Amino acid sequence: MFLKKKIILIHLGVFILLTLLLLFTSEPLLNKFAAGIHNVGMWIDLMIFGTIGILILTTISCLIFLKQGKIIGLIIILVNLFWTWFSLNLLYRYHFTEFHPTFYIPNWILIMNSIFAIIGIVIGFNLIMKKINIKTALLTDFILILTGLIIQQI
């Protein structure tokens, strides 16, 4: 019981430390990567999305250390369900509505992303059923998501 509290407190401290680091380095980051075009809105977006990202990563790390495979499996399933919905919804909007974006993601990329996401859902279910371990599930799902993002940038 004491070990669980210690793990949670360490992760809370890391979250606070990383959020403060983001707060103090966000302006120099914007000056470096968005010189001349950054504004308060960009800074606020960086702070919001950066803090959310730090929260998600420290929460997942905490769950890994606490060996909460079912919760991590559920998170994997939810992320991949959203990815499937996003890809298939975009594919539907391209072909069956009057949606005309400036930049189209090719159909084959949307289909590949949907297939990767469905594989990710299966990975999440396998983690919940304890057919694979946490490390393998997270690594495999991360590789699938990274592959989908890289293909999308081509």
In this structure, are 19 and 54 located in the same domain?
Answer: yes
pTM listed for this prediction? 0.71
Range of 15's domain?
2-65
In this structure, are 53 and 81 located in the same domain?
Answer: no
In this structure, are 49 and 82 located in the same domain?
Answer: no
Size of the chain, expressed as the number of residues it contains: 154
Total of domains in the chain: 2
In this structure, are 81 and 144 located in the same domain?
Answer: yes
In this structure, are 78 and 146 located in the same domain?
Answer: yes
The pLDDT score that the predictor gives to residue 11 is 87
Opening angle at CA 139, ends 105 and 110, nearest 5: 15
In this structure, are 91 and 37 located in the same domain?
Answer: no
pLDDT band for position 60 (50/70/90)?
Answer: confident
**Of 41, 65, 89, the domain-final residue:** 65
In this structure, are 56 and 73 located in the same domain?
Answer: no
The pLDDT score that the predictor gives to residue 1 is 67
Q: Which two tokens stand for residue 33?
A: 């990567």
**Of 48, 65, 82, the domain-final residue:** 65
DSSP string for residues in 79-91: HHHHHHHHHHHHH
Q: Encode pLDDT of 77-126 as tens digits.
A: 999 999 999 999 999 999 999 888 888 889 999 999 999 999 999 999 99
Distance of alpha carbon 150 from alpha carbon 154, whole angstroms: 7
Is residue 143 predicted with pLDDT exceeding 80? yes
In this structure, are 97 and 131 located in the same domain?
Answer: yes
In this structure, are 26 and 56 located in the same domain?
Answer: yes
In this structure, are 57 and 73 located in the same domain?
Answer: no
- Which stretch, 27-31, 60-64, 84-88, has highest mean pLDDT? 84-88
